[in-house]
Amino acid sequence: MPQLQYNESVENLRRVKIQLFEADGETPQTGADLSIQILKAGKTSYKPIQGSWVENESGTYEILLSREDLDTLGQAVLKVSVVGESDRFMRFDVIPVLGGRVGGPRVVVTAGPVVGPLA
């Protein structure tokens, strides 16, 4: 499961890339207008992310989470919604700062295709 550090201060290390596909599961979904919410550990409802997103190309979207999005340790879930489509979900862990200090070893997030319920 992908991991991000708690309250990560380095913007580049708060980026998550996802690939969206059309209903056939093969054709990249381009030009989508995403709504992205997060469910943090211990919470019972999704809230809009504080960060932003951008489409790179060929159905690849990059989500830039904010420090506030990563302010709760434990498992989190991103819900990616597109009007008229089924929601897509991606789980990840928010972990303590490695090495016990800011600037310590970092964990890079790489997410595979997000194509359906809880990928």
The domain spanning residue 61 has which CATH number? 2.60.40.10
Work out how many domains the chain is built from and give that number.
1
| pTM listed for this prediction | 0.78
The answer to whether residue 39 sits within a structural domain is yes
DSSP line for 33-100: -EEEEEE-TT-SS-EE-SSEEEEEETTEEEEE--TGGG-S-EEEEEEEEETTS--EEEEEEEEPPGGG
pLDDT(54) > 80: yes
Residue 15 lies in a domain: yes
Q: In the chain, pLDDT over 90 holds for what percent of residues?
A: 56
Q: Percent of the chain at pLDDT above 70? A: 82
Mean pLDDT over 2-21 rounds to: 88
Whether 115 is covered by a domain: the verdict is no
Looking at mean pLDDT, say which of 40-54, 76-90, 95-109 comes out highest: 40-54
